[in-house]
Amino acid sequence: MMRTDETPGAVRRAAAGSGRALASLGSPLWAAILVATIIAAVFVGFGGLRPASASPTEIGVDEEARTSLYAVTVLDAETTDVVEDRMEADPGETLVVATLRVENLSDRPIDIGGSVDRVEARLVNTAAPLLALVDAEPTDYARSWRTDGSPGTVVLQPDVPAEVQIAWPVPEGSLADGILRLDVHEPEITTGKVILSSDHISWDRGDLVARIVVPLESS
């Protein structure tokens, strides 16, 4: 097996040998084949066929992750058993609660955890959410609310940043390293195919844009 540190030398030797063979040939066709072979050897020898890195860009507290349709910034995060007047963890569970600043960059209102005006944003509470916990699988639906105490569901108007909290129930002992990792995905818009629902829009999970890494506080 060729070691990595031997690769450049082997490539040069192969190129030199091919060059001598090329000089002894008069056929333009064979010359073109040899040139293509040399180029391919150099490309492979220097890692041209190695898979691209799938590691997402990592950002931290107060750093914004921006997609084409929404932007999100994690302000802080904690684990707790109860959020007063909001929700309580069941036995064997804990709550991961993140405070975020979210901005709707689209031209239509969106609901963080549901749908509104025939737009299903799918930020949370779907099999493939755009905001996805890493290293912890929610045991139930996440809940969200505005930090200013406004009642009702969180509907984000276009170009109006809002501070919200999202709470995910997860198995007790999850995120034992005390770090919240939240993957942020680019939305891919799909529309209804049936006449009666042709104006229904959903944001499906696309490419991974960033991973937000935030220390968890305990309460």
The answer as to whether 51 is a domain residue is no
Both 113 and 183 in one domain: the answer is yes
Both 25 and 109 in one domain: the answer is no
CA 35 to chain centre: 41
Q: Check whether 2 has a pLDDT greater than 50.
A: no
The answer as to whether 50 is a domain residue is no
Please give the tally of structural domains in the chain. 2
Could you tell me the two tokens for 108? 């239509």
Helix H or strand E segment including 163:
strand 162-171
The answer as to whether 52 is a domain residue is no
CA atoms within 13 A on the CB side of 54: 4
Quote the mean pLDDT of the chain. 83
- Are 145 and 164 within 8 A, CB to CB? yes
Both 94 and 31 in one domain: the answer is no
Both 106 and 8 in one domain: the answer is no
Give the contacts of 120 (CB within 8 A, at least 6 positions apart): 114, 200, 201, 202, 203
- Are 136 and 174 within 8 A, CB to CB? yes
Residues pairing with 72 in the sheet: 65, 102
CATH number, domain containing residue 146: 2.60.40
Both 85 and 186 in one domain: the answer is yes
Both 70 and 39 in one domain: the answer is no
Determine which of 43-57, 99-113, 193-207 has the lowest per-residue pLDDT on average: 43-57
- Pick from 113, 79, 75, 76: which is nearest to 96 by CA? 79
The answer as to whether 101 is a domain residue is yes
Q: Which domain holds residue 36?
A: 4-45
- Determine the Cα–Cα distance for residues 208 and 181; give it in Å rounded to an integer: 13
The answer as to whether 133 is a domain residue is yes
pLDDT in tens, 72-121: 999 999 999 999 889 999 999 999 999 999 999 999 999 998 999 999 99
Q: How confident is the model at residue 42 (pLDDT cuts 50, 70, 90)?
A: very low
Neighbours of 38 (CB within 10 A): 18
Both 9 and 86 in one domain: the answer is no
- Determine the Cα–Cα distance for residues 12 and 16; give it in Å rounded to an integer: 6
Both 32 and 101 in one domain: the answer is no
Both 163 and 85 in one domain: the answer is yes
